[in-house]
Chains A and B, each alone.
Chain A
Amino acid sequence: MLLIKNGRVLDPASKTDAALDVLLDGERISRVGANLEAPGAEILDAKGLIVAPGFIDLHCHLREPGQEMSETIETGTRSAARGGFTAVCCMPNTNPVNDNASVTRGIVERAAASASVRVWPIGAASMGSKGEALAEIAAMKSAGIVAVSDDGKPVATARLMRQVMDYCNSLDLPVIDHCEDPSLFAGGVMREGPQSLRLGLQGIPAQSESICAGRDVEVAALTGARLHIAHMSTRGSLEYVRWARKQGLRVTCEVTPHHFTLTDEDVRYDSNYKMNPPLASRADRDALIAGLADGSVDAIATDHAPHHPASKDVEFDRAPFGITGFETALALGLSELVHTGKIPLMRLVELFTTGPARVLGFARKIASGEPADLTLFSADHEWTFRAAESPSKSRNTPFDGRAFRGAPMATIVAGRLVFKR
């Protein structure tokens, strides 16, 4: 038994914000209440800390199997634990692609043997994510996937998307899409705008994303299926999501910390500023923050995309897309959104907990009988992020050396303390 004492419990599901103790018994929460006593229980003093439901990351790349030079399930989930995440959803663009149950089972087994936090695989929508035949979605569901996506690229055509959505609807799985029109994307490396013109880097117009988001929303209307827009970066896409919600469609979306923090004006000839979707214009970034504040956005997801250092230490246009994200996500949320007064602390917690849980179709709360997954964090702890200290195998982040106010302090998964600062 573990008794978490003196903390401030923030539970978006019950709108609780109170000084409460939480008693864990094995893998479950046993009791929540004021001044709990549990003789014989180990005590974790959470004085000055916020006790939140366990954080869920809907979008990450753990690179196993096949790209272990960049990350493994073991190193990636250690980094996730340091970021306060108790569960992470890993995208299927591994090698081989997670498009059948044997790959899914392999990931689940590796996670059982080596992971610090829960690993919830996402299966491919199409075989090899090639946009042709459907992947073995039902079998993967039996093996443990929580959603499907051809992430890294969009589901290739509206017709394929219709089939994927119809099928996933019957299986009660959400379809996550990486929205991009390949013909407009056209080999671009950053958002098209004044900065891409100045740097002479091939631009990707914002409409490359929103055209595809619009297509997906229309197919969601056609099928009635659950659609989730991954790493949304433009106002146009957000407007499609809002429109879909008004029609009563089951459409959700996520935003990454880098997209609510940085803009295309920050891009330099440094591949740590290269990700897909690219950093957006200031107007789009501000629209995303408004969506995070008003409830249009359901979740903050990291899109943790490790690449081993040699692969990123190249010319900007030759570098792969993506940056790491677990360990800076909460701190960026606190620094950029909460401490600036743009969203309340409870809303930030919701975006890391009940929001992503709802996308996956379940509830997340701090209550007796619930899984003992908790994230303890400080909203005020001052620290500096050092990429070199990360357990991740990769160092590709634009936030190395950044000073933060607020940090994950302890991560508890199934009653076990997997990280403590």
Chain B
Amino acid sequence: MLQRLSHLLGTEALSHEQILFLLDQAKPFQEFQRYPLKKLATLRGKTVAIAFFESSTRTRISFTTAAARLGADTMALQAESSSLKKGESLIDTVRTLEAMRPDGIVIRHPSSGAPAFVAERLEIPVLNAGDGTHEHPTQALLDALTIRDRKGKLEDWNVTILGDIVHSRVARSNIHLLSKFGTRITLCGPAMWVPRELENFAPNLRVTHRIEEALEGADVVMVLRVQTERIHEPSLAADEYIAGYQLTPARLRLARPDALVLHPGPIVRGLEIDSAVADGPQSGVLEQVTNGLAVRMGLLYHLIGGAPTDAPHPAKDRSNASD
């Protein structure tokens, strides 16, 4: 039987089999999102701590909703309203949360490695909802689910990632995940954000600073948000970025005709992506959001539910629906 996960800290350490298992776990939850009554009793009586030490809307709502639809209660910690402002350390904050006996904790934190730091010190499962410039594993899993759905399989595609790669946790998690499936990855963006050294990051990975070259033959194009709040070096003029790297309809025509366009959100229309592309038929942006719920429900079920990996799937069992 498959090795159970005790935490989800990143995609780097996940095996090929674990990734496929997590995608398969998410699958029935995709259909579940269309049910009129979106509530299961699977995690009834369980509590999920949602600790966000960095502002976020979509990921926080996605995790909170995923927990609710599984029947779990949540306790939320928001950095702005927490005792962090009073100088409490991360370890004291999460130990305080743990003392209220949650069954798992979802953490977003501006410091790379913060979820790993917490996981080493707490007894409960830790789910990384994005740490600094390190990883954002649920984003990569939901991207993989979207690719598999739209393109029929996950293996052997040409995937191009556009933007500020060096500061992107989404890029790191996607590179680690996709490179386990034979993906040929092209990284493209301004040279100071896409250093050549990234080529050693994974097999079948190349770096180019010319967007035309990056898009040619691409099956999937992932556009990253230009993350102004995380840039340490002098930033680039927006006009310069748009001229060189915005994904426009004309540039998208360089990719395969059926190329899928993904974006982790939130989108800055007119900066990294043209609205015609973001809203066009090749865009998978809204499916990504729905798939995010399914992936997170699957993860919470697996990590907190404690059911064996070969147990019947809860979303397939209608008697499990909550009253």
Residues of chain B lying within 8 A (CB to CB) of residue A198: 12, 172, 201
A269 touches B91 (CB 8 A): no
When the two chains form their complex, are residues B197 and A199 in contact, meaning their CB atoms are under 8 A apart?
Answer: no
Q: What are the residues of chain B within 8 A of A315 when measuring CB–CB?
A: 90, 109, 111, 113-114, 117
Pick out which of these stretches binds chain A: B23-31, B132-140, B148-156.
B132-140
A363 CB–B CB distance under 8 Å: no
Contacts A199-B112, A200-B132; A310 near B201 (Cβ below 8 A): no
| Contacting pair A201 B113 (CB below 8 A) | yes
Which residues from chain B contact A197 at a C-beta distance below 8 Å?
Answer: 166, 195, 197-198, 201
Chain A residues with CB under 8 Å of B200's CB are 194
Give a binary string over A282-317; 1 marks a CB under 8 Å from any B CB, 0 the rest. Answer: 000000000000000000000000000010011111
Indicate if the CB atoms of B201 and A199 lie closer than 8 Å: no
CB distance from B58 to the nearest CB of A (A): 21
For residue B169, which residue of chain A has the nearest CB? A200
- Chain A contacts of B89 at CB under 8 A? 310, 313-314
A200 touches B232 (CB 8 A): no
Bound complex: CA of A247 vs CA of B116, how far in Å?
50
B116 touches A269 (CB 8 A): yes
Q: How far is the CA of A197 from the CA of B134 in the complex (A)?
A: 8
Interface size on A, residues (CB 8 A): 18
Question: Chain A interface mostly helix, strand, loop or mixed?
Answer: loop
Cβ–Cβ < 8 Å partners of B195 in chain A: 197
The answer to whether residues A269 and B113 also contact, given A200-B134, A200-B169 and a CB cut-off of 8 A, is: yes
B233/A186 in contact, CB under 8 A: yes
Question: Is residue A368 within 8 Å, beta carbon to beta carbon, of the partner chain?
Answer: no
The size of the chain B interface, using a CB distance under 8 A, is: 26
- Name the residue of chain B whose CB is nearest to the CB of A269: B113
Known contacts: A187-B232, A200-B172, A313-B91. The answer to whether A194 contacts B116 by CB under 8 A is: no
**Contact present for B132 and A317 (CB under 8 Å):** yes
B232 shortest CB reach to chain A, Å: 6
Is B164 interfacial (CB 8 A cutoff)? no
Report A185-222 residues with CB < 8 Å from chain B CB: 186-187, 193-194, 197-202
Q: Please determine whether B232 and A199 come into contact, CB atoms closer than 8 angstroms.
A: no
> Taking the nearest CB of chain A, how far is it from the CB of B298, in angstroms?
25
Within B165-199, the residues touching A (CB, 8 Å) are 166, 169, 172, 195, 197-198
Contact between B201 and A318, CB atoms less than 8 A apart? no
A310: shortest Cβ distance to chain B, in Å?
7
A187-B232, A194-B197, A197-B201 as given contacts; A317 in contact with B111, CB under 8 Å: yes
- Say yes or no: B201 contacts A316, CB within 8 Å: no
Instruction: Report whether B197 and A316 are in contact in the complex, using a CB–CB cutoff of 8 Å.
Output: no
Q: How far is the CA of A315 from the CA of B197 in the complex (A)?
A: 26
Q: Is the CB of B112 within 8 A of A200?
A: yes
Q: Max chain A CB contacts within 10 Å: which of B114, B131, B195?
A: B114
Question: Using Cβ atoms and an 8 Å threshold, which residues of chain A touch B166?
Answer: 197
* Residues of chain B in range 272-300 having any CB-CB distance to chain A below 8 Å: none
10 interchain pairs, CB-CB under 8 A: A186-B232, A186-B233, A199-B134, A200-B113, A200-B131, A201-B113, A201-B133, A269-B117, A314-B90, A314-B91
User: Could you list 13 further interchain pairs (A-B, Cβ under 8 angstroms) beyond the known A200-B112, A200-B133, A316-B112?
Assistant: A194-B197, A198-B172, A200-B172, A269-B113, A269-B117, A313-B91, A314-B89, A314-B91, A315-B111, A315-B113, A315-B117, A316-B113, A318-B111
